[in-house]
Structure 1
């Protein structure tokens, strides 16, 4: 595996090394020792699959607040997506900046998403599937989200959004929740309270 840090510190793309022969190929997609060697947290509390029937399906932008914030390792196993992550760490020099990474079954690329990042994607093909390895359990009441078209984030999605859940339509924009978001994502402050 080849790890490349994005412009958002701690977020990495992970390229696989395919060992090909007449049968096809074999590739390692996860190894806790290798993730640790790159300073990443390879804890897996749960694994999830996201299946999306239609091109233009958008999920996100989702996150969990500390103390149950999540690291995620995401791979597309069928189809293709434009995956977007947003840095929500108030102390970070890249606070509110985002990165878009194309993940597909063809390129085999993975994306490691640190705690206190928002995550979302739009499908670029019909019949798309993603696998998530997540470091923490889903905790009702700790989840949060931002609108995919929030002007404060300035994300240009590379596909028309055709399918969006009612929940994802109703996230409040950063202009309404920015102060609360900063306070809840401030790990130093939450440790002293």
Structure 2
């Protein structure tokens, strides 16, 4: 089974960000960037599933400029088998990203799309759900544990009352939490 994993380039979580003088965002030039921490968790889960023999290929995917190649190299070092770089300059809105990811998911004929629950740069928490809606496939959000059995995924997630377990049919979108 092939899995696509979103890997977004964001300002490193250890960097103290500074707001632009016009208040329009944060200064990103000359600041250390890294893979979104929640996407790292998604990549880690994909690698675990491959080690269990449930996944045969992991494809990292990112959208952005040339600097995103560093993030893709990190994903390959982490365990991705190959990478897809959708080149786009400037800010990418969640719906634009979702449309690109949905098209790639169809083209690659992947059964599973992993993404972090949110990116730490915008905290939007929208892209994964939008991909599922665009493709009319199952989704499970905020996963802390994923198990695959045939054409089904069992997802455990933390909720206010404790743990909740969901079962979804594949293909599916799963967003990962801590």
Query: What TM-score do the two structures reach when normalised by structure 1?
Result: 0.26
Query: What TM-score do the two structures reach when normalised by structure 2?
Result: 0.28
Q: Which structure's residues are more often helix, by fraction?
A: 2
Rg larger in structure: 1
